[in-house]
A and B are shown apart, each in its own frame.
Chain A
Amino acid sequence: MTVGDQVKQAVASLKSAQASFESFALQTNNQNAKQMYQNAAQQTQTIVQQIEQRVQEMIDEEPEYGNQ
């Protein structure tokens, strides 16, 4: 597995974590916990965006990463 693939996998994991946070936020009735899960989902989203940008850069630099 190339580094590119590993980075993509990390992005996928993060996205799944973000989705879990969102669903936990919906499930709980505790206002504190809800707020906390929403924050966590938002911050995870920011991280995902940063790393996705990097993935795009890698694809631009070395196109073979993109078509695997």
Chain B
Amino acid sequence: MPTYLEMIIRAVAIFFILFILARILGKKQISQLTFFDYVTGIAIGSMAASVAIRQDQSFLYGFIGLSVFTGLSLLFSFLSLKSLTMRDLIEGNPTVLVQNGEVLEDNLKKVRLTHADLMMGLRRQNVFKLSDVETAILETNGRISVMKKSQNQPLTPKDIGLSVLEESSPSLVIVDGHVLEKRLSYLGYTKEWLKGEVMKQGASEFEDVFLAQIDSQGNVYVDLRKDQNRSEKVPQKPLLAAQLRKVQADLEMFALQTNDQNAKQMYYNQSKELDKVIQMVNPYMKQ
């Protein structure tokens, strides 16, 4: 057998073996890898590479090496699942670097991080001032997680007691002109209804639609294939909100204009009622 043919066969075989081993080792994200996972990965890769291109290397021995490394990694990840002490031993513990705003120099030394490394980690988390940090932790994968002091945390609707619309994740219902019927019926909508919605937004057929997405409110966002025939659509909900506010203002005006005391009171009351309605629906009236 000519040498180049053997090399081709080796390379192809190693390619598929590597693929299978990678699938067996699972889908831990690269960013979640601990240092140990990382070096095992490199070792497996270089073993595979040398078997693939070095003729003097026995294919069988290379295969054995690969299998042993994969098997051991699997065994280790299984052990760290089963036993806490093994987990500490294999993956290590997260290290607290800053606590209550105090940098813990001893811990920094223990994990051999310089102050510059710490500052870089903080800045990557959008923290530029040490004084903003409540806790910073070096995770086992080498990343730094930061909890800011509560006065520096971003304002959430909950903080100011604002009621917001609960929204679940939106789903695509048309992809490249094809209606995803299963998903549509799972969401409880019919194809006919969807057709009406996409026609309102300028498509004449499902085929004209590149992507359509339904949010949990039942709003349909349509992206047409031909970008130029998009017609300006009227945002329904903001329009409704504006309409309500206009009526409320009108009611107040009527209350001022009339001389009839009963009517004045009635207009005034109803304007207050309407204001309540507006307050109630306001969080829902954003497109």
A side interface size, CB within 8 A? 30
| Shortest distance from the beta carbon of B200 to any chain A beta carbon, whole Å | 12
Partner of A46, one of B168, B247, B273: B273
B247 touches A13 (CB 8 A): yes
**B281 interface hit (Cβ, 8 Å):** yes
Tell me whether A14 and B247 are in contact in the complex, defined as CB-CB below 8 angstroms, given that A29-B187, A30-B217, A43-B273 are known contacts.
yes
B254 touches A27 (CB 8 A): no
Partner of A51, one of B167, B236, B270, B280: B270
B223-249 Cβ-contact flags toward A at 8 Å (1 or 0): 000000000000011001001101100
* Assembly CA distance A20 to B242 (angstroms): 13
B167 partner residues in chain A, CB cutoff 8 A: 30
Interface residue SS majority, chain B:
helix
B216 partner residues in chain A, CB cutoff 8 A: 28-30, 33
A13 partner residues in chain B, CB cutoff 8 A: 243, 246-247
B274 to A, closest residue via Cβ:
A47
B219 to A, closest residue via Cβ:
A27
B245-287 Cβ-contact flags toward A at 8 Å (1 or 0): 0110011001001100001001101100110110011001000
A18-33 Cβ-contact flags toward B at 8 Å (1 or 0): 0011001001111011
* Assembly CA distance A29 to B146 (angstroms): 37
Interface residue SS majority, chain A:
helix
B2 partner residues in chain A, CB cutoff 8 A: none
**Chain B interface category by residue count:** 20 to 34
Interface residues of A in 1-39 (CB under 8 A from B): 3, 6-7, 9-10, 13-14, 16-17, 20-21, 24, 27-30, 32-33, 36-37, 39
Partner of A30, one of B166, B247, B270, B280: B166
* Assembly CA distance A9 to B253 (angstroms): 13
| Shortest distance from the beta carbon of B202 to any chain A beta carbon, whole Å | 19
B280 partner residues in chain A, CB cutoff 8 A: 36, 39-40
Partner of A20, one of B166, B217, B240, B247: B240
**B218 interface hit (Cβ, 8 Å):** yes
| Shortest distance from the beta carbon of A25 to any chain B beta carbon, whole Å | 10
B284 touches A10 (CB 8 A): no
B247 touches A36 (CB 8 A): no
B276 partner residues in chain A, CB cutoff 8 A: 43
B254 touches A3 (CB 8 A): yes
* Assembly CA distance A57 to B286 (angstroms): 37
B240 touches A36 (CB 8 A): no
* Assembly CA distance A51 to B254 (angstroms): 11
Extra 5 A-B pairs, beta carbons < 8 Å, given A21-B281, A30-B167: A10-B250, A17-B240, A32-B166, A33-B166, A54-B266
The 9 closest A-B pairs by CB, nearest first: A27-B218, A10-B250, A28-B218, A13-B247, A47-B270, A20-B240, A43-B277, A10-B247, A40-B281
A-B contact pairs, 12 of them (CB 8 A): A3-B257, A10-B251, A17-B243, A20-B240, A24-B237, A28-B217, A29-B188, A32-B166, A33-B165, A33-B216, A40-B280, A50-B269
Q: Report which A residues bind B (CB closer than 8 A).
A: 3, 6-7, 9-10, 13-14, 16-17, 20-21, 24, 27-30, 32-33, 36-37, 39-40, 43-44, 46-47, 50-51, 54, 57
